[in-house]
Amino acid sequence: MLRLSTQIHKWLALVVGLQVVGWVLGGLVMTAIPIERVRSEHHKASFQASPLPAEGLVGYAVAARAMGIEPVEATLRSTLRGPLWVLKDAGGATHVVDAVTGRHVTPLPATEARLLAGTQYQGKGQPAVPRWFAVAPQEAGKPGPVWRVDFDDAEKTSFYISPETGEVVSRRSDVWRLYDMFWRIHILDFRTGDNFNNPLVIAMAALTLPVAITGLILLWIRLGRDLKAVLARRRPG
């Protein structure tokens, strides 16, 4: 039993040892950093959008006809660009319509994107020149085109801005990126960071189990030997 347990423990530990270290280190990072800091909530400016006017707005049906769609979902929202209808069609595509004029909302220019990002930011950083992404990068966590506005604060905060509503759709920083790296190591999904049931993490967990079991067996045997040695030394000669 001792020889078999030692061999299993030694060779499997070589395979899973680094990943176990990654799991422990990742768990430490993810528990030590408050999730609010990861989400950059301390850089979220506190303000309230203007209330929606009681009259003078077009209905969602008028807005939908202007876009030539039949919405399955319609939401009237008060945004920094004024009241907007956010319409979703049967295919899941989103259409944003000015609730005052009934016209399709054109994407923000760079200057306005920078201004609205600064309005929604709290901190000492200054906004840089916005970067346009026709397809949102993976870290944005949202589909579609976005503006990215970086701030020169200590955490290198980035705001991803909706080109239609002008709202921040996601906040990222070097703290988030560090957290995300360890999260991917933790779940062994380096492509998207979303699938924590992937075959690799299941296989690694399955290999780690016998390492733990054989480690307990070896510990039990070692403790038993040490106990016998202590008792033998205490016996009268």
| Pair 90, 117 in one domain | no
Higher pLDDT pick, 91 / 114: 114
At 79 the three-state DSSP class reads: strand
State how many domains the chain has. Answer: 3
Of 148, 172, 196, which one is at a domain's C-terminal end?
172
The pTM (predicted TM-score) of the whole model is: 0.78
For tokens 């016996």, what's the residue? 235
Same domain, 196 and 154: no
pLDDT tens digits, one per residue of 5-39: 566 656 666 667 777 788 888 888 989 999 999 99
* Torsion angle (degrees, nearest 10) of CA 78, 81, 83, 85: -100
- Quick one: 80 and 115 in the same domain? no
- Residue 30 placed within a domain: yes
When the pLDDT of each residue in the chain is averaged and rounded to a whole number, the result is 85
Residue 185 included in any domain: yes
In a domain, 186, yes or no: yes
- Would 41 be classed as within a structural domain? no
Helices marked H in 56-131 — which ranges?
60-67, 110-119
Do 124 and 165 have their domain in common? Answer: yes
| Percent of the chain whose pLDDT exceeds 70 | 89
Return d(Cα 120, Cα 162) in angstroms, integer.
Answer: 12
Same domain, 168 and 111: yes
Residue (of 133, 71, 144, 57) closest to 102 by Cα position: 57
* Residue that is last in its domain, among 83, 105, 127: 105
Is residue 233 scored above 80 in pLDDT?
A: no
CA separation for the pair 214, 56 (Å, rounded): 74
Closest CA to 44 of 141, 144, 173: 173
Q: Is residue 13 classed as helix, strand or coil in its secondary structure? A: helix
Q: Are 185 and 209 in the same domain?
A: yes
* Residues 83 and 111 both lie in one domain: no
The reply to whether 65 falls in a domain is yes
Closest residue by Cα to residue 8 from 206, 170, 232, 207:
207
CATH classification of the domain holding 76? 3.10.450
Closest CA to 136 of 120, 148, 150: 148
Look up the domain containing 88 and give its range.
48-105
Residue 40 counted as domain residue: no
pLDDT tier at 199, thresholds 50, 70, 90: confident
Same domain, 139 and 100: no
- Whether residues 55 and 87 share a domain: the answer is yes
Domain boundary at 140, 172, 204, which?
172
19 and 76 within one domain: no
Instruction: Look at residue 7 in the predicted model and tell me its pLDDT.
Output: 61
Q: Is the pLDDT of residue 215 over 90?
A: no
pLDDT digits 0-9 by tens, 131-188: 999 999 999 998 889 999 999 999 999 999 999 999 999 999 999 999 999 999 888 8
Is 68 a domain residue? yes
The answer to whether residues 130 and 147 belong to one domain is yes
Q: How far is CA 132 from the centre of its chain?
A: 21
